[in-house]
């Protein structure tokens, strides 16, 4: 099976990192497409497309590749024909069609049967915009049979009805992937662990990751 995870920023994939580690361990091909650079909204004292911004983006991508090695996924490199990603926290003012077309192109290239993305109940505007762009890109005629959404750090609402049990070792991989980003996600690990325990309790295992079902076609 081929799985595509579509996220707003390089690091968002860690939020479902236990499941990604499990998919990879089971022999599934996992690709992660990150659409925004994750850096240019930060106060860097320079033009968003200047030298400092480019260095920060390059560093973020190196961390993304390090997380890929830990979790076992492939980074989708071809975003906007090799140019830098969309500016951080600007996806809500980017034409939706421009984002959707990139997702459609990647779907045509990797041919996933399952797609994971952000939840519509996420507080982060980039996350919600990616969800909106994914929906028209995952038409059944493209071969995508299942679409699921995962929770971000801060949610308006999230009601998971599909769960993947994850082992202690896969939780450790998720933690190691989080550490690849330095201080970026340092405060999120306790929240990730707490959710894994809560969802595991719901389904009768030690740890689990929960997902909202957007579409399932069996």
Task: State pLDDT tens for residues 11-57.
Answer: 999 999 999 999 999 999 999 999 987 555 555 544 545 545 567 77
CB atoms near residue 151 (< 10 Å) = 25
In our burial notation (b when 16+ CB lie closer than 10 A, e otherwise), range 39-73 reads bbeeeeeeebeeeebbebbeebbebbeebbebbbb
Bridge partners, residue 155, by sequence? 122
Largest CA distance in the chain: 51
For the chain, state the CA radius of gyration.
Answer: 16
| CA-wise closest residue to 150 among 109, 104, 200, 115 | 115
Half-sphere exposure of 87 (CA within 13 A, CB side): 13
pLDDT value at residue 2:
96
pLDDT value at residue 49:
52
Q: Supply 114's token pair.
A: 């399952």
pLDDT value at residue 46:
46
pLDDT value at residue 81:
46
Lowest average pLDDT, out of 158-162, 183-187, 189-193, goes to 183-187
Residue 186: pLDDT band with limits 50, 70, 90: confident
Mean pLDDT, all residues of the chain = 88
pLDDT value at residue 38:
55
Q: Where are any strands of DSSP class E within 157-207? A: 162-165
How do residues 87-105 score in pLDDT, each as one tens digit?
A: 666 688 889 999 999 999 9
pLDDT value at residue 51:
47
The structural domains of the chain, ordered by start, are 2-216 (3.40.50.10320)
pLDDT value at residue 83:
45
Alpha-carbon span 80 to 53, nearest angstrom: 17
Range 54-78 average pLDDT: 87
How do residues 154-173 score in pLDDT, each as one tens digit?
A: 999 999 999 999 999 999 99
CB atoms near residue 136 (< 10 Å) = 14
- Global model pTM greater than 0.85: yes
> Do 11 and 17 contact (CB within 8 A), yes or no?
no
């Amino acid at each position: 099976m081929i799985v595509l995870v579509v996220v707003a920023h390089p690091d968002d994939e860690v939020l479902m990192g236990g499941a990604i580690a499990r998919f990879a361990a089971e022999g599934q091909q996992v690709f992660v497409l990150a659409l925004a650079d994750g850096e240019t909204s930060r106060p860097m004292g320079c033009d968003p497309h200047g030298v400092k911004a480019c260095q920060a983006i390059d560093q973020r991508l190196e961390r993304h590749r390090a997380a890929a090695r830990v979790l076992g996924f492939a980074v989708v490199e071809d975003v906007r024909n090799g140019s830098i990603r969309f500016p951080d926290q600007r996806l809500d003012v980017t034409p939706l069609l421009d984002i959707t077309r990139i997702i459609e192109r990647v779907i045509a290239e990797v041919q996933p049967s399952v797609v994971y993305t952000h939840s519509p109940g996420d507080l982060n505007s980039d996350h919600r915009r990616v969800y909106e762009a994914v929906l028209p890109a995952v038409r059944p005629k493209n071969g995508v049979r299942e679409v699921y959404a995962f929770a971000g750090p801060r949610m308006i609402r999230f009601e998971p009805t599909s769960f993947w049990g994850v082992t202690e070792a896969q939780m450790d991989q998720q933690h190691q992937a989080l550490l690849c980003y330095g201080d970026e996600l340092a405060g999120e690990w306790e929240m990730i662990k707490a959710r894994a325990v809560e969802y595991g309790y719901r389904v009768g295992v030690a740890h689990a990751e929960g997902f909202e079902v957007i579409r399932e076609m069996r």
